[in-house]
Amino acid sequence: MGSSNAVIAVVMAGAVMTGCAGTGGQSNPADPWEGYNRAVFSFNDTLDRYALKPVAQGYKYVTPEPVRDGVGNFFSNLGELGNLFNSVLQWKLTDAGVAGSRFLLNTTLGLGGILDPAARMGLNQQPEDFGQTLATWGVGQGPYIVWPFLGPSTVRDSAGFPVNWYLDPVTHVEEDKVRYSLRAVDVVNGRAALLEQEKLMQGDRYSFIRDAYLQRRQFLINDGKATEDPFASGNMDISDDDFSQ
């Protein structure tokens, strides 16, 4: 996703994919700016509750599920270009080949990416972004931070925003109306996909989303390999099943 509120939806996805594990409101050593972050989180959460979520609910009501799935596949297919670029930078040449193959197959046989025949061929997506690339290069994570509109991040992931934005094909659509429309559809469709899953969130929403974001990022950086996460509060266990699609 390449839009402001899209990041909020992505983080919610990370949260619900960790299941119903509670956080207990414990502090996290990766969150030294918690006071500021909670204030920004409250702003974003209010914006979501009164603006984005109602629109997503209406969209889901009037849009058939196959259409929503096709829209999600379309934007996911565009993301393969970023996956390809970052896989090369990380010397993951096999993953780069998979990303390139997925883009070619889904763009041609998949009707422009609306369908995902590559997955049926066993070519599964491996998300990569420039924040993960920086981590591979040894750049430290830095503190957790919540941005207005953009949502949860870290200092390292924030440094990757400009590159991720540039690699998003929608960024290069010259017609403003078309570009803004694509952004809006991406955000609303992504948010609609999370309406049911967000019910799994329990306890303090801020802590839940923060810990889920940090563990999700660690999971992606390590390509699903279990490692000791020094930044998590220690009461959320992850496994491959937690992040399966």
Percent of the chain surpassing pLDDT 70? 81
Percent of the chain surpassing pLDDT 90? 75
Cα radius of gyration (the chain): 17
- Single-letter code of the amino acid located at 185: V
pLDDT for the residue 197: 83
pLDDT for the residue 231: 44
Kindly report which listed range (46-60, 67-81, 227-241) carries the lowest average pLDDT score.
227-241
Average of per-residue pLDDT across 74-98: 97
Spatial distance between the Cα atoms of 27 and 37, rounded to a whole number of angstroms: 13
- List the chain domain ranges: 6-243
Whether 28 shows a pLDDT value over 50: the answer reads: yes
pLDDT for the residue 2: 42
- In 6-52, where does DSSP find H-type helix? 6-16, 34-47
In contact, 33 and 143? CB cutoff 8 Å: yes
The half-sphere exposure of 9 on its side-chain side, counting CA atoms within 13 A, is 24
Kindly report which listed range (25-34, 141-150, 207-216) carries the lowest average pLDDT score.
25-34
Q: Give the pLDDT confidence of 29-56 residue by residue, as tens digits.
A: 999 999 999 999 999 999 999 999 999 9
Most confident of 52-61, 202-211, 234-243: 52-61
Alpha-carbon distances of 121 from 77, 117, 118, 126, rounded to whole Å = 15, 6, 5, 15
Residue with tokens 């303090």: 204
pLDDT for the residue 201: 82
